Amino acid sequence: MSFAACENAGCYHKLQIIIHYAYFNIPLNNNPALSPVIIFQTPILQIIYKIKSELYTMSGRSITVLILCIVAGTQAARCQTITTELLLPDSLTHPTIHWKMQQAPERPFSRRAFLVPATMVVFGAVAASSKEGLRNIDYNIKYEIHDEHLPVRTKIDNILQFTPAASTFLLGIAGVKGKNNFRDRAMIYGMSMMIMNATVFTTKRLTQQHRPDGSNFSSFPSGHTANAFAGAEFMRREYADVSPLYGIAGYAVAATTGYLRIRNNKHWFSDVVAGAGVGILSTDLAYYLYPRIKDKIFKNDKPTTSTLIMPTYSSGSFGLALSRTF
């Protein structure tokens, strides 16, 4: 039935009444005029009521933190260098989804790529240096996530910070081809870590920002978060041509790392936001610089030569195995 026919039959007005009743939680069973539509709309009404109930159980600051995390995660997991086209299946009996990736011209430091992480760094710096205003966001989020509940501290963030980068190398070893070979990946990631660590530890020494738990004055920016987001951007750029889901997964782990740093009372919200921006920019800068110095580093490199270094474990001892193919 067309929309015009539905509107003439009164369905449009019934839908308005249903939504209105669902919002105010008014039962509809006593209205026989709506009974045919109620049967069809009951699952939708249950979903709406469930979402409304869940939101009512959350405080205002919790909803704010949730929105900030969603916005930061989705913006950071940007895929500005690729165009994604979803191809619908021809058969409904065996539905499949194919990702068709079309690579746009590489622009490592375009304005759009630079804007999000740069804004995160600026926000974190301004909030950390303020006495009021943006600084109140740090206090409110600290109270909401840590002080109000006093959660038990966890050390899983010490592992999660390396997960995106480690997963990128493991995917390559497993046969999932990315943008670069193993050697180039290692060089790019190494450059990213050098830039990130130099920026983070120099800034920590200069700012002398106290941690929320008062343990020391090395709070700004968050090194764990910077490391995690550098790895997430590394994964996104390596596997952007394969599927955007790799980048989204990497950024989800990185965002969890930042959240746990606040939950463990080790960092302010501004520390985490700035650390995320530093990590993303470090990896972007590494991808920008490496192609320009690659030929100078590997002047006599032969295409038939490859080197692989792998960790080994035997009889309780760890080591390294070097494999070179000529």
Domain ranges of the chain: 3-57, 125-299
Hey, what are 204's tokens?
A: 């920590």
Q: Return the percentage of the chain with pLDDT > 70, whole number.
A: 58
Q: What is the rounded average pLDDT for all residues in the chain? A: 75
Cis bond upstream, residue 221 (ω within 30): yes
Average pLDDT of span 227-237: 97
Task: Give CA angle at 249 (308, 286), nearest 5°.
Answer: 50
Rounded to whole angstroms, the Cα distance separating 316 from 99 reads: 44
Contacts of 244 (CB under 8 A, 6+ apart): 77, 79, 82, 84, 99, 236
Average pLDDT of span 190-213: 96
Give the CATH architecture of domain 125-299.
Up-down Bundle (1.20)
Pairing of strands 306-314, 317-325: antiparallel
pLDDT higher than threshold 60 for residue 103: no
Q: What is the pLDDT of residue 80?
A: 41
More confident residue, 217 or 66: 217
Q: What is the pLDDT of residue 133?
A: 87
Contacts of 140 (CB under 8 A, 6+ apart): 61
Burial annotation 54-79 (CB, 10 A radius, 16+ → b, else e): eeeeeeeeeeebeeeeeebbeebbbe
pTM above 0.85, yes or no: no
Asked whether the CA dihedral 233, 239, 241, 246 is positive or negative, the reply is: negative
Question: Over 20-44, what HEC string results?
Answer: HHHHHCCCCCCCHHHHHHHHHHHHH
pLDDT higher than threshold 60 for residue 65: no
